Structure 1
Amino acid sequence: MEQILTHIRNIPIQRNFVENLPFNPHLIILLKEKRKAGILGEVLFWKKVRARVFHNIDFDRQRIIGNYIVDFYVKALGLVIEIDGSSHDEKEVYDGIRQEYLESLGLLVFRVDDFDIRNNLSIVMRELEEFIILNYGTTPSSKIL
């Protein structure tokens, strides 16, 4: 089975599919409301990643994981992308608990500030590439002489 998802800057990116994630069906109504809200940073980011336009990687928007709704999720990598806007001000403890929970499931979390999405989107996308390369990139095995 092919374990390489894609290539970024000619570096193979390894799949990291995390199975059996918990799902709280009671959050479905809230999820639909969040999708309709159209928060600018999320909409701008979505335009850059939807329909596999970012290195042919499939992103889900507003995904329920356990008792949380994450902003974006890459199933093939087990990667959560969280866009922190003003709603995250004064919520460092909550965000820390949430991130710890997600990481306990074997997921990685890439956090980005909403301000940076709105003002430096190309830099954010480059940082996301670097994060993916660092955490999921593989180097071809070298021959041992």
Structure 2
Amino acid sequence: MKSTIEENPVKGLSLAIWAGILAGIAGTAAITVSQMIEMRLTKRSPSTTPVKAVSKVLKVKPTRKDKQETVSQEIHWTYGTSWGIPRGLIALAGVQGWPATLLHFAAIWATELTMLPSLDVAPPVTKEDPKTVAIDALHHAVYAVAAGLVYDAISKED
């Protein structure tokens, strides 16, 4: 039996992207809950790094101080949802299940570890406290696992 991609490549790509978007939403929901639990336990304030990064990339002024947390959440959800698309493309390339989830995690976390310091909105990982790095890795692993499980469930062919 042929797969969707073999029968109709455009349809296969479309399904991979849409399943990826849904997986990205699920992953973003999971990382949000993970971060909320961690912030409650560690008494950490919500991050405004998303606003700072987007302000630098788009060369716009930061939002009003009282709106930064809301805008950061909007950016967080948009960014996280869009990261589901690469999960679909990874599967489309033939990598499935846990190997795909591991590859997705590596891509997401490596992007963060290089992008944020290059924008000067976070220190390089080598200058971070190991506990902070471990917590960050855990959050991104929660995202990747949730996105992977949802992607695999949605895209499973009978």
TM-score with structure 2 length normalisation? Answer: 0.30
The structure, 1 or 2, with the larger RCO (C-alpha pairs under 8 Å, 6+ apart) is: 2
- Which has more helix, going by share of residues? 2
In terms of Rg, which structure is larger? 2
TM-score with structure 1 length normalisation? Answer: 0.32
